[in-house]
Structure 1
Amino acid sequence: RKPLHSRDSALMIAGLKAIGCEILQEVNGDLRVTPAKFFGPASVDVGNAGTVMRFLPPVAALATGLIHFDGDARSHERPVGPVISALEELGVTIEHGGRYSLPLTINGSGSITGGTLEIDASSSSQFISALLMIGPATKQGITIKDIGKSLPSMPHIEMTIQMLKAFGAKVKSNIDKTGRREWQVAPGELQGQDLIIEPDLSNAAPFMAAAMISGGEITIQDWPNSTAQPGDQLRSIFAEMGAKIEFVGNDLKVSGTGAIHGIDIDLHDVGELTPSIAAVAALADSPSSLRGIGHLRLHETDRLAALATELNALGGDVDEEESALHISPAPLHSGIFHTYDDHRLATAGAMIGLAVDGIQVENIATTQKTLPDFPGAWQQMLDGTKSANSAKPNSEN
């Protein structure tokens, strides 16, 4: 119930239907998912959705027959190698020309035995989530050991575990003596659920920031009181940067105070929030340092390079390091804000446009990846016709 119908979610729905899953959309937009045997031949278009390119291949490995995966040009560059290697260790036959990237074809045998996997998820926590989700469907279960130098976006793994448990899966999490994480998922049947999908709080970031930038206020509807979502940290981050934030019933009210302050923060676990925080930081009255975000170089685009390039082109003062951005106050001027087909860059450009005349955001339509009508919601907010309900379910980090 209450799913978002964006490009990413449409790609996921189409991919699942292509391999045999029955998904019906009701008049109100709710989705009814009926399990079925997976089979090929089939083709799946992943677009540039990290969730589709990483979550669906393990599911397709449970199918019988050939399942081909391909997507946008950028999808060929984004990392999926650890998922491919893990599936091969589990005995799945995959044709990828030795590239360990898209495009690829899975030759499924209809079942997976399971076993122990060592995964380097330093590029994306989605590698872990993708393999956790098929654990209950394997014959022996799956044990996953994290061997990477770092593990970004841990809250997303926690969300995956919470969802698995909600469907009846048995999942254990451990940390060994060296601090390495390990997860065990037992084999077993899952039980269908009637779920209301939480709104994706990261989608609220540009709207919350708008109140800070304009000195106005905005109400975000149905903000959960308790959640594992990384986006919930926007409340404390933006408050530290100068916003007044308070709950009003089930809604969250954000008010600008006339001041925006810089921040020194490690965003390793909440990297998806970086573009919005960087845009606000570019308008602050003191310097900011956004750290622990090297993994963002492998997202829809190299987000560190893109943010530094675009903000500096408008007169900003951004120093780029391998895993950090250092942003100092500087007067910005008009210009084109390029988005690199990245939805988070597009919303960051719109935020800058609230404070600087003459900002043109290139290809704002790329926001359809996770927000079905960002321009409409943005205009509605500016018109002040009613509270902007910007927090909607999302399919990508």
Structure 2
Amino acid sequence: MTKTIHPITHPLNASVRVPGSKSLTNRALLMAALAEGKTTLRNALFSDDSDYFAKALQNLGFEVELNPERKEIGVRGLGGNIPATSAELFIGNSGTTARFLTAFLTLGKGEYSIDGEPRMRERPIGDLLAALRKLGAKLEANNNCPPVNITASGLSGGKTEIAGNISSQYLSALLMIAPYSQSPVEIEVSTALSSKPYIDMTISIMRDFGVDVERDQYQRFRIQPARYLPVSNYSIESDASAASYFFAAPAICGGTARVENISRGSVQGDINFLDILREMGCEIKEIDTAIEVTGNANLRGIDVDMRDIPDTAQTLSAIAPFASSPTRIRGIASARVKETDRVSAVCTELARLGITVEEYDDGMKIYPCENIQPATIRTYNDHRMAMAFSLIGLRVEGVQIENPACVSKTFPNFFDVLEELRM
């Protein structure tokens, strides 16, 4: 199945709203389950990724109320107790669910397993397992990838270390479960840390649920034994990664697009994608609880390190061919172990459109292209490939997206919202 994206032939003048943040929703779900009492998440994300996490909690015996119409999730936490003493959990290709649940389940008492789709069985998790073992956990995995088998009896705590250049979700997972260890936890980051804003986000949400983290920049973190407090009404911001596609649209089509329910003060690091658009020549305005982006006919190419916001690199790759000079994207080697090898996939699909691109270990260089060719874009079952390359179709005739349903991972109604740009 494919979806044809039809060009928009007029400057944009649109206002859209994107779903709640996946990163915030899944972190809040974990902390709500560990707290003692009822937490209600407002504007929660309802997508494949969040559904896998919520349903895993239900399978573990937690009371989880899902209300998709109201965008609300209610979770009754049990003060660090996990009701089920055994469970086999399937988590699709949700990396956050795999990593967060792996850490979370070490706090239980019993035998648990986590498995997913074939691609998930290729995504590394060995560093997280090694770090958890140093805190007293017993875990096994095939070739350091799921399925993961956990023999849980709680965590003793102590000192551990984790690499920071593979996935920041490893460190986030350790931070979130550390308060429930029997003794204080100290985590040392053994390499340079990618995606630093995601760690800031994790610590911010932990604070919202009543737990503080001592830190030495991004090198060392200390967490004392503590308990999360339930939050009766926890509001989830709109997803900044999802918003990036609509921030980017005016750079390609001209005119102005407004994204509701998000601000420059967001705890989500991907809000900084706006700085890239400004550097390329776009105008950014914050109005009330919304952000407006206005395009510039003289879009400039840039040289940018995106190691802290790798999930928006595909968005930039869709804008780059329309710039007046080449764009060099650096620092995204971690993107090679996402839903697909995103560096290779982006370069392959840009070339399919007739765009000149050079691939590097940590990124790519994309050249301007005045005659982009019609093509059917492979998505590799990666939601961000589908969403990013749809942007090119807003300007170029003949762009089709293969397997458009893959956007259900984080943004099920993406194509409906994309259509709102035509109004």
Q: Distance in 1 between matches of 2:45 and 2:159?
A: 35
Which runs of 5 or more structure 2 residues have no equivalent in the other structure?
A: 1-41
2:359 is the alignment partner of 1:320? yes
Residue matched to 2:133: 88
Answer whether contact 2:44 2:72 (CA < 8 A) is retained: yes
Q: Distance in 1 between matches of 2:235 and 2:350?
A: 38
2:325 is the alignment partner of 1:286? yes
Residue matched to 1:201: 240
Taking the TM superposition and a 5 Å limit, the aligned residue runs for 1:352-391 are 352-382=392-422, 384=423
Structure 1 residue 134 displacement after superposition = 0.5
Residue matched to 1:387: none
Taking the TM superposition and a 5 Å limit, the aligned residue runs for 1:219-258 are 219-258=258-297
Q: What TM-score comes out, normalization by structure 2 length?
A: 0.86
Residue matched to 1:34: 76
Q: Distance in 1 between matches of 2:247 and 2:227?
A: 41
Structure 1 residue 248 displacement after superposition = 2.1
Structure 1 residue 225 displacement after superposition = 4.2
Q: Distance in 2 between matches of 1:66 and 1:329?
A: 54
Q: Distance in 1 between matches of 2:109 and 2:404?
A: 40
Paired residue type of 2:285: E
Residue matched to 1:388: none
The one of 93, 96, 103 equivalent to 1:58 is: 103
The one of 187, 197, 202 equivalent to 2:225 is: 187
Answer whether contact 1:19 1:63 (CA < 8 A) is retained: no
Residue matched to 1:12: 53
Residue matched to 1:108: 152
Structure 1 residue 121 displacement after superposition = 2.4
Q: Distance in 2 between matches of 1:325 and 1:189?
A: 44
Q: Deviations over 1:287-324 (max 9, x none)?
A: 11111111111111111111111001111011001012
Q: Distance in 2 between matches of 1:299 and 1:242?
A: 30
Answer whether contact 1:2 1:196 (CA < 8 A) is retained: yes
Q: Distance in 2 between matches of 1:215 and 1:18?
A: 48
Answer whether contact 2:347 2:357 (CA < 8 A) is retained: yes
2:84 is the alignment partner of 1:43? no
Q: Deviations over 1:359-383 (max 9, x none)?
A: 111111111111021111111222x
Residue matched to 1:394: none
Q: Distance in 1 between matches of 2:122 and 2:56?
A: 20
Alignment length (residue pairs): 376
Secondary structure, aligned partner of 1:25: strand
Q: Deviations over 1:318-339 (max 9, x none)?
A: 1001012111112311011111
Answer whether contact 2:102 2:148 (CA < 8 A) is retained: no
Q: Distance in 2 between matches of 1:96 and 1:43?
A: 14
Structure 1 residue 141 displacement after superposition = 2.4
Residue matched to 2:115: 70
2:184 is the alignment partner of 1:144? no
More strand by share: 2
Answer whether contact 1:19 1:60 (CA < 8 A) is retained: no
Alignment RMSD, CA only?
A: 1.4
Which runs of 5 or more structure 1 residues have no equivalent in the other structure?
A: 385-397
Q: Deviations over 1:19-41 (max 9, x none)?
A: 22221124623111111331221
Answer whether contact 1:45 1:70 (CA < 8 A) is retained: yes
After TM superposition, which residue ranges in structure 1, 4 or more long, deviate above 6 angstroms?
none
Q: Distance in 2 between matches of 1:225 and 1:236?
A: 10
2:169 is the alignment partner of 1:129? no
Taking the TM superposition and a 5 Å limit, the aligned residue runs for 1:260-279 are 260-279=299-318
Secondary structure, aligned partner of 1:135: helix
Residue matched to 1:390: none
Q: Distance in 1 between matches of 2:61 and 2:211?
A: 22
Secondary structure, aligned partner of 1:20: coil
Paired residue type of 1:86: A
Paired residue type of 1:292: G
Answer whether contact 1:82 1:121 (CA < 8 A) is retained: no
